[in-house]
Amino acid sequence: MMKLEKRECPLDIKIECEAGWSDVWFSYENMQLKFLISYCFDEQLDDLLEILYNFCDESDPNGQLFNECKEVVNKAGGFHYAYLSSTFMWNEEPSVSRWTIERDLIESEGKKWDYSFNLHIKIERLYDSDEKTDEVFTFDVKYIDFCYAVAKAFTQLIKKYGFYGYHMSTYNQDLNMRYLLSIKSIALNNFDAVHLTNINSDGCTSSLEKELELLQFDM
- pLDDT for res 77: 52
pTM of the model: 0.86
58 to each of 55, 106, 130, 150, 214, how far by Cα in Å?
A: 9, 15, 38, 21, 22
For residue 114, the 8-state DSSP code is -
For the cut 80, the answer to whether the pLDDT of residue 7 exceeds it is: yes
Query: Could you give the count of Cα atoms lying within 13 Å of 219 in the half-sphere of its Cβ?
Result: 29
Whole-number percent of the chain with pLDDT over 90: 41
Average pLDDT, the chain: 82
For the cut 90, the answer to whether the pLDDT of residue 48 exceeds it is: no
- Specify the DSSP element, H or E, that contains 197: strand 197-200
CA distance 214 to 183: 11
- pLDDT for res 69: 57
- pLDDT for res 42: 55
Query: Could you give the count of Cα atoms lying within 13 Å of 190 in the half-sphere of its Cβ?
Result: 17
For the cut 60, the answer to whether the pLDDT of residue 43 exceeds it is: no
For the cut 70, the answer to whether the pLDDT of residue 60 exceeds it is: no
- List pLDDT tens digits, range 99-151: 999 988 766 544 556 788 899 999 998 876 556 667 899 999 999 999 999 99
CA distance 27 to 16: 15
